């Protein structure tokens, strides 16, 4: 089955710096890769996702890159702000687009701290 | 605000009590999920419902009993829980056959 490794487990940056979180997956059939942000006392919130037919996706200060050959994908946050402080989870799954879908397999999470 | 609403936000119960967790979504999603999340861990899938039918049970103990009365509602009935069942219980929904999954803010459950 799928296995997702996430690094680092903790990350501390100064406000305004960039943050990068990396994930690797094992199942080459996985084709959907979401990133979730979880703040204290809240549920995971989807912040960006990427499908395997795309190499990069951006949304304002957040970007995700995917390398299918190496089976890894990364989250990039630029111009970090204190409100970016949270736990970030990557995940991978097989999405059959209208048929059955695989379960989301999560990485273990990265605790990001942005110091003012 | 999340589009998946979970109640109650907090629940404390004894090991002999019976209680229920409720989840509601009005996005027209036909897949709904229950997850369990322990502190500093990722969510773990418990159950998946598709079109109001249970499609996945991840070998969850029978003291957890899910129910999907209609396409907008998902319940989790709890009975004779153990202290190790204390956790954050998350509900999520998605359009069937597609992602992404949208999560609620969870119910923080404490078993005395």
Mean pLDDT confidence for A79-96:
93
Residue B95 is predicted with a pLDDT of 86
- pLDDT of A24 higher than 70: yes
Residue B2 is predicted with a pLDDT of 67
| Cα–Cα distances in angstroms (integers) from residue A87 to residues A40, A97, A112, A115, B104, in the given order | 8, 29, 6, 15, 16
Residue A72, chain B, CB below 8 Å: the answer is: no
Task: Count CB atoms within 10 A of the CB of residue B10.
Answer: 9
Query: For residue B79, what are its two tokens?
Result: 């009975």
Residue B7, chain A, CB below 8 Å: the answer is: no
Size of interface A-B (CB pairs under 8 A): 60
Residue B10, chain A, CB below 8 Å: the answer is: no
Which 3 state secondary structure label does DSSP give B40? Answer: coil
Residue B34 is predicted with a pLDDT of 96
Average pLDDT value over all residues in chain B: 93
Residue with tokens 């999907």: B68
- pLDDT of B96 higher than 90: no
Rounded to whole angstroms, the Cα distance separating A98 from A80 reads 37
Task: Write out pLDDT tens, residues B39-89.
Answer: 999 999 999 998 999 988 889 999 999 999 998 999 999 999 999 999 999
Q: What angle do CA B94, B100, B104 make, to 5 degrees?
A: 65
Report the 3 state secondary structure along A38-86: ECCCCCCEEEEEEECCCCEEEECCEEEEEECCCCEEEEEECCCCHHHCE
How far B109 CA lies from chain A's nearest CA (Å)? 12
Residue B38, chain A, CB below 8 Å: the answer is: no
Rounded to whole angstroms, the Cα distance separating B98 from B112 reads 39
Rounded to whole angstroms, the Cα distance separating A12 from A7 reads 13
Nearest by CB: B105 against A42, A89, A95: A42
Rounded to whole angstroms, the Cα distance separating B57 from B66 reads 10
- Contact check, Cβ <8 Å, B106/A89: no
Read off the DSSP letter of residue B80. S
Residues in B closer than 8 angstroms to A93, CB to CB, are 99
Find residue B77's DSSP bridge partners.
B20, B65
Task: Write out pLDDT tens, residues A28-52.
Answer: 999 999 999 999 999 999 999 999 9
Which 3 state secondary structure label does DSSP give A14? Answer: strand
- Contact check, Cβ <8 Å, B41/A108: yes
Report the 3 state secondary structure along A83-106: HHCEEEEEEEECECCCCCECCCEE
Read off the DSSP letter of residue B41. S
């Amino acid at each position: 089955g799928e296995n997702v490794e996430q690094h680092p487990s903790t990350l501390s940056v100064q406000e305004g710096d960039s943050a990068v979180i990396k994930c690797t997956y094992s199942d080459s059939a996985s084709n959907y890769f979401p990133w979730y942000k979880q703040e204290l006392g809240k549920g995971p919130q989807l912040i960006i996702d990427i499908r395997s037919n795309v190499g990069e996706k951006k949304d304002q200060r957040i970007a995700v890159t995917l390398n299918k050959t190496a089976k890894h994908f990364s989250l990039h946050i630029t111009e970090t702000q204190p409100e970016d402080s949270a736990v970030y989870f990557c995940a991978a799954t097989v999405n059959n687009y209208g048929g059955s879908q695989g379960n989301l397999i999560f990485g273990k999470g990265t605790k990001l701290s942005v110091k003012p | 605000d999340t589009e998946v609403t979970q109640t109650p936000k907090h629940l404390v119960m004894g090991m002999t009590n019976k209680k229920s967790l409720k989840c509601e979504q009005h996005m027209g999603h036909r897949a709904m999920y229950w997850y369990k999340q322990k502190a500093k861990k990722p969510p773990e899938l418990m159950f998946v419902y598709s079109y109001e039918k249970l499609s996945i049970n991840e070998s969850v103990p029978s003291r957890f009993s899910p129910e999907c009365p209609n396409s907008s509602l998902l319940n989790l009935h709890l009975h004779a829980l153990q202290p190790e069942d204390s956790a954050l219980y998350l509900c999520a929904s998605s359009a069937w056959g597609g992602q992404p999954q949208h999560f609620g803010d969870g119910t923080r459950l404490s078993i005395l």
